[in-house]
Structure 1
Amino acid sequence: MHLPPVGLGTMGIDDPDAIAAALAVGYRHLDTARIYDNEDVVGGGLAAGLTANDAARDGVSRDDVTVATKLWIDDLGPDEVGPAARESADRLGVETLDLLYVHRPRGDYDPETTLPALDRLREEGLVRNVGVSNFEPAQLDRAIQVLDAPLAAHQTELHPLFYRPELLEHAREHGYTVVAYSPLAGGRVREVDAVRAVAEAHDATPESVAIAWATAKEPVVAIPKASSEAHLCANLAAAGLELTDAEIASIDAVEHEEELFPE
């Protein structure tokens, strides 16, 4: 599946206007999850944003927007996957979930029963693409073996303070997208000397550099969270910031690792 370089992470967003504003400035990938407890907010903003865009006649339609959500660890039993996915679609106000993830391979997750249930949803048309999140390479291998559908995406924490090249190499080898969540490290990228040095060289913000660094890595797209129009626009534009190989390498070499969302 094709995803734009920058999408919108919505964890913590509780105002539909922020979602509508994101669509208005050009976002075409919205990412949420059942555990965020805001699928109705994202759905309301999506509906409002598409209505506003339709009125403005700028050609944005539902088909232009990838809507992604995730099944939590207690949604992953074979009898829970379908009802949970339908509830999410209803809350989001969509007939089809463009991308449905296994949020974490924990709880009721069993690749032999969870993944075939996701395949059935794809065959039924409720789900267009299947993804996984927070998986290790061996778990990714097993998912690829069991799924009938191609694995569309692996969502994982990725930022200058937490970077796992082996996950990117696995994605390249198997032809799926890596979706980088928390690419700004919860604002901590401002404290990283290598990021600040590159930002100064480009007269850019550390946040823009962090997003540009992530999206420069094939096959990575980023989903930073933002709600104000200024931050939405800045994050969206960051993918156009071109870093040199040396600048990318200087950020790659940051030794301090800080995983924000460990198991």
Structure 2
Amino acid sequence: METLSTQGLAMPRLGLGTYRMTGNDCARAVEHALSLGYRHVDTAEMYGNEDGVGAGLAASSVARDDIFLTTKVWHDHLTRDGIRGALEASLEKLKTDYVDLYLVHWPAPDMDMGEVFETMAALKEEGLIKAMGVANFTVDLMKRAVEEIGAPIACNQVEYHLKLDQSKLLGYLTTKGIPLVAYVPLGQGRLADEEGLVAIAEKHDASPAQIALAWLMDQPGVAAIPKASRNETQQANLDALSIRLDDEDRALIAALPKDVRYVDPDFAPDWD
């Protein structure tokens, strides 16, 4: 599995997203993914499935130190005590002593960003997290975190797929050597009927979803965490890593609409 180097860690470029997986189904999906070769597992306190993820990790024969585990703190816990309490609860559910990556899940307009990253730095010093990062941060928010505060941000996890332009954000992250981790990388299954994508898929004897994933993997500095609860979907996503797009494929994808956003809650920042 190819990795991205960030803040002293090696982040596998393809991870397992677990949003909306719960209980035993979540545990089985995580255990099976690890048996296939996945080494990057993503969860969050808001998902309500950290116990299932933890059970899957515990059931696996893969050593904990060989797994890149990410979880996230919800936006209403972004205080010194709130972050610490949330992480302690997450670690207990995950049945682990540390997480590799701890993210601010969503920015909050009233958060004290300096306090947030100061708290995360203390958690890192204590060995409870290996690196800190963010999710759903705009370029302006990234500039505050990186340039004003000097936080060692390991990644920005955002919605990114072939129908949403993230070139401005990706350009900024690239200049700072910060990976972009794409969630909803397959458009929540809505890309299967895109005519241009179907044509590319037929050409490569692949599915449109595999082409969408291959397009992300074609870009330096980008990782992806597609949700995959079914065994065959997990394998299909791994198989997508071997697809090599050509310039004709890229041109067809570039012609698709680039203004489709599937995740935009009321508390989201101004995406500018």
Of 35-44 and 194-203, more deviation after overlay is shown by 194-203
Decide whether the 8 Å contact of 1:97 with 1:126 is kept in 2.
Answer: yes
- CA shift at 1:246, angstroms? 2.9
How far apart in 2 are the matches of 1:81 and 1:256? 35
| Residue-pair matches, total | 254
Identity of aligned residues (%): 39
Decide whether the 8 Å contact of 1:77 with 1:108 is kept in 2. Answer: no
Q: 1:40 to 1:98 in 2, by over 3 A?
A: same
CA contact (8 A) 1:31 1:68 kept: yes
| 1:160 Cα deviation after fit | 1.4
Equivalent-residue separation in structure 1 for 2:90 and 2:149 (angstroms): 21
Counterparts of 1:131-210 in structure 2 under 5 Å? Answer: 131-145=133-147, 150-210=152-212
Structure-to-structure mapping, 1:30-109, within 5 angstroms: 30-49=41-60, 53=61, 60-106=62-108, 109=111
2:243 aligned counterpart, secondary structure: coil
Asked if the contact 1:116–1:146 (Cα under 8 Å) also holds between the matched residues in 2, the reply is: no
Matches within 5 A, 1:5-44: 5-14=13-22, 15=25, 16-44=27-55
- Note if contact 2:165-2:258 (Cα within 8 Å) is conserved in structure 1: no
CA RMSD of aligned residues (A): 1.4
1:89-142 CA distance string (max 9 Å, x none): 111111011000000112653212111111111111111011100010010011
Unaligned runs of 5+ in 1: 54-59
- In structure 1, the partner of 2:223 is 221
CA distance in 2, matches of 1:234, 1:228: 10
Letter in 2 for 1:151: I
Q: CA deviation at 1:212?
A: 0.3
- Residue 43 of structure 1 aligns with an amino acid whose one-letter code is G
Q: Per-residue displacement from partner, 1:145-173 (whole Å, max 9, x unpaired)?
A: 35555211110101112121111111110
Contact 2:145 2:151 in 1 (8 A): no
Shift of 1:252: 2.5
TM-score computed with the length of structure 1 as normaliser: 0.92
Q: Can you give the 5+ residue segments of structure 2 that lack an aligned partner in the other structure?
A: 1-8
101-110 or 120-129, larger mean C-alpha shift? 101-110
1:130 to 126, 129, 132: 132
1:225-244 equivalent positions in 2, closer than 5 A: 225-244=227-246
Q: Give matches, 1:247-262, under 5 Å.
A: 247-262=249-264
SS in 1 for 2:260: coil
How big is the shift at 1:229?
1.1
- Report the alpha carbon displacement of residue 42 of structure 1 after superposing the two structures with TM: 0.4
Q: Say whether 1:2 aligns with 2:6.
A: no
Tell me, yes or no, if the aligned pair for 1:34 and 1:70 is still in contact at 8 Å. Answer: yes
Q: Is the 8 A contact 1:116 1:147 kept in 2?
A: no
Contact 1:77 1:114 in 2 (8 A): yes
Q: Whole-Å Cα distance in 2 between the matches of residues 153 and 64 of structure 1?
A: 19
Question: Counterpart of 1:131 in 2: which secondary structure?
Answer: strand
Specify whether residues 108 and 44 from structure 1 end up closer, same or farther in structure 2 by C-alpha distance, changes over 3 A only.
farther
What letter is aligned with 2:94?
A: L
Distance apart, 1:143 and its partner CA: 1.0
